[in-house]
Amino acid sequence: MRVLGIETSCDETGVAVYDTDRGLLAHALFSQISLHAQYGGVVPELASRDHVRKLLPLVRQVLAEAGLAPADLDGVAYTAGPGLVGALMVGAATGRALAWALDRPAVGVHHMEGHLLAPLLEDPGLKPPFVALLVSGGHTQLVEVAAVGEYRLLGETLDDAAGEAFDKTAKMMGLPYPGGPELARLAESGRPGLFSFSRPMTDRPGLDFSFSGLKTQVLLAWQGSDQTPETRADIARGFEDAVVETLAIKCQRALDQTGARTLVVAGGVGANARLRERLQALAEKRDARVCFPRPAFCTDNGAMIAFAGALRLMAGQHEAAVVTVTPRWDMASLPSV
Ligand code: KG4
Ligand code: ZN
């Protein structure tokens, strides 16, 4: 089955074709970073309008790269939530209309399920059960995955998401949008241990997270410092170490609690090199396995939506010929496959 995947939930237009026999045939991404940079964050209305401009050219490009005509598609998958409602509507309306015109089934995909399943895209041997750490700009969750579509939330952030903490901290120290990757780059040259921040909520049992206090600690450290580029890098390093260590401690607890031997990491912060290193070391120490998508498939992309949609379409699930999106969407409410 060949499935077109469309991702437009935030500031990236992603399109891909996934073939359930041959794997990923083509994928393309257009990032709106330069559009939003001057505002220091995503402007929802500008995001929607840019998705309108970029989506169909990207669909044409991906089909050409895959050597396919539209009629060769067997189904269409689009992100139906969570996300920015206007941005979601662009992908949903386009995907639904394409499927209607081609007389093929269409399915609305949960964006976080897309992230969660992304590691399986390139590793056919990887199968549930496992524990997933989802770390994106909007979510920080530990999820027990019994099967595709059977998700139990073990813990989540009570305030800022990990990616959001990276972005806000970077902004506070004057780094350009999007701050997360910038701050990680800066931390590379920072010296470890010069600035030490707390590992929030690791001193009590449980798998929930809280990152907003950490952000305040960094602000106070930054305001009280000499604010040189070297100090900024040292603070970035201290912040990154605190987030990475906090995530690692909770992952370890989640593996202990569930008895799972596999940890899957997905979402934009999963592209962070130090997090990947730390979780790799954790897995090796306890003879477990940790799996990440390649960094480009950690951040938003069309491939993960094509893949997750293909699994649901293969299971016979599809939407009625109406366009609905769900900007706030609990993943535990999904049907199993
Ligand atoms: O999954 P994603 O692309 O979009 C959402 O669904 O939110 O995640 C984006 C988040 C942003 O907060 C971004 O700063 C963060 O992931 N991010 C990183 C890195 N690359 C992206 N955070 C830390 N280190 C990175 N290398
Ligand atoms: Zn995402």
DSSP state of 157: B
Mean pLDDT, residues 110-136 taken together:
95
Question: Residue of the nearest CA to atom 16 in ligand 1?
Answer: 268
pTM, full prediction: 0.94
pLDDT more than 70, % of the chain: 100
Q: Which residues line ligand 1 (CB under 6 A)?
A: 10, 136-138, 163-164, 166-167, 178-181, 184, 267-269, 271-272, 299-300
Is residue 173 within 8 A of residue 239, CB to CB? The reply is no
> CA nearest 84: which of 21, 10, 181?
10
pLDDT surpasses 90 at 178: no
Angle in degrees, 0-180, between the axes of helices 162-172 and 212-223, rounded to the nearest 10? 20
The rounded Å distance from CA 100 to ligand 2 centre is 27
Which atom from ligand 1 is nearest to the alpha carbon of 271?
Answer: 26
pLDDT of residue 311: 97
Question: Residue of the nearest CA to atom 13 in ligand 1?
Answer: 180
* Strand segments (E) across the chain: 2-7, 12-19, 23-31, 75-81, 106-110, 130-135, 140-147, 150-156, 262-266, 289-291
Angle in degrees, 0-180, between the axes of helices 162-172 and 229-258, rounded to the nearest 10? 170
pLDDT of residue 198: 96
Please return the burial class of 1, using the count of CB atoms within 10 Å of its CB with bins 0-12, 13-18 and 19+: middle
The residue whose two tokens read 């794997």 is: 23
Q: 38 CB contacts (<8 Å, ≥6 apart)?
A: none
b/e string for 259-281 if b means 16 or more Cβ within 10 A?
ebebbbbbbbbbbbebbbebbee
Angle in degrees, 0-180, between the axes of helices 179-187 and 273-285, rounded to the nearest 10? 70
CA distance 275 to 240: 9
The rounded Å distance from CA 140 to ligand 2 centre is 11
* Strand segments (E) across 32-84: 75-81
The rounded Å distance from CA 192 to ligand 2 centre is 29
Peptide bond between residue 105 and the one before it cis (omega within 30 degrees of 0): no
Is residue 106 within 8 A of residue 89, CB to CB? The reply is no
pLDDT more than 90, % of the chain: 95
**Tokens coding 238:** 């201290």
**Backbone dihedral region of 318: left (phi > 0), alpha (psi from -120 to 50 degrees) or beta?**
beta
Which residues belong to the annotated binding site?
111, 115, 134-138, 167, 180, 272, 300
Asked whether the CA dihedral 44, 50, 55, 56 is positive or negative, the reply is positive
Strand partners, 81: 110
The rounded Å distance from CA 163 to ligand 2 centre is 10
pLDDT surpasses 90 at 47: yes
pLDDT tens profile 179-227: 999 999 999 999 999 999 999 999 999 999 999 999 999 999 999 999 9
The rounded Å distance from CA 114 to ligand 2 centre is 8
Mutate to test the pocket of ligand 1, among 42, 133, 166, 300 (most ligand atoms within 8 A of CB): 166
pLDDT tens profile 68-119: 999 999 999 999 999 999 999 999 999 999 999 999 999 999 999 999 999 9
pLDDT surpasses 90 at 40: no
Is residue 299 within 8 A of residue 151, CB to CB? The reply is no
Which residues belong to the annotated binding site for Fe cation?
111, 115, 300
> CA nearest 243: which of 331, 153, 157, 138?
157
Question: Residue of the nearest CA to atom 10 in ligand 1?
Answer: 137
The rounded Å distance from CA 138 to ligand 2 centre is 8
Question: Residue of the nearest CA to atom 21 in ligand 1?
Answer: 268
DSSP state of 175: P
